[in-house]
Amino acid sequence: MSHPRPLAPPSASVSSQASSVNEKLERRLSGIAFREDPDTLFEMLDHIGTGSYGEVFKARVKVTGQYVAVKLIRLEPTEDLDEVLNEVNFLRSCAHRCVVAYVGCYLKKGSVKGQKVVWIVMEFAGGGSVEAAYKALKAPLEEREISVIVREALQGLSFLHQCRKMHRDIKCGNMLLTDSGEVKLADFGVSTQITKTLSKRHTFIGTPYWMAPEVITSEQNGSDYDFKADIWSLGIAAIEMAECSPPMFDMHPMRVLFMIPKSEPPQLKDAKWSSEFRDFLRVCLNKTPGSRPTADELLQVFTSRQHLRSSIFLSHNTHHTKPVAPIRPHPGKLHPNNQRPCLAHLGRKTEPAKSPGTRS
């Protein structure tokens, strides 16, 4: 079991700066954060990952026994409060079955004098990330599994984009699987809202291997990018599921930043993948953003019978318009006949976690 480690005592000047940060944060969290001490509500369990701006832990609600995920963000004097609050506000406004559910936010005194820790409490996805799934398998996912995950991720992206929100860090590590088989987009620390006065973004942010060419060049030449950057990243994530890593993963990240804008769009290496899968990647990984389809346009492919055979999202049974997901158990659990550990069942629903707190 891993728990947050205390930080070294700060200097007097740092303590003063921390106090100023805390005062600003408390003002801005007014009406958002719950007033209870989160330690009285949640029992911290295992460390389950590192998200943007913080460590993520599995925790148990003491009253109900329900599991939740808790991201702990220790506030430093130089911390950009807009970045810290961005994820809270983003999650609060995103209620969708394909987006990890927001439970609550708490402000807790840290182990260092004057320091505060923000607790962002979210729905716990017991199946882990898609990245963890293929690593547990030690093998690529099957095409029909990839199609289900990508389809559900598109549902989440469609919702976000309709709300004029960009995720900006789509990858298998940020796609979670629940115990009942739902796919959830997670980690919104670098997500952004597109407003009427800011129709596009030119901020260089995200994870290099999954990054769209226009995102990389935006910092270099001041150009813009929009929702289509998420579509590129989803295409790269689909390759990641098929090959257990994104393209160019053997290269240094700085080299990748140079290569992506100058290289041809990546393709699947193995000839076993269907032409429909390759066509899907071809349209997602078009280097001209305006020529990429939207999330809604991609979703229309497998809701229309006339496009059935031009989509990877099919069951290979012409009587069905949706895939029939293969039955594969949770990572870490074995078949009765001791076959390899596999994925959780895909495609079922679960209820989001309820908050145990009371708003201030």
For the annotated binding site for ATP, the residues are 71
Give alpha helix (H) positions in 56-121: 81-92
Residue 172: DSSP 8-state = G
Which of 80, 169, 179, 270 is catalytic? The answer is 169
Any idea what the Cα angle at residue 225 is, between residues 175 and 82, rounded to 5°? 70
Give CA–CA dist 166/97, Å, rounded: 17
Amino acid letter, 185? L
Is 279 annotated in the active site? no
Task: Enumerate residues 6+ apart whose C-beta is below 8 A from 45.
Answer: 1, 57, 58, 59, 60, 67
DSSP letters for 298-352 = HHHHTT-GGGGGG-S---S-TT-SS------PPTT---TT-----PPPPS---PP
Give CA–CA dist 253/73, Å, rounded: 25
Point out the residues that are catalytic: 169
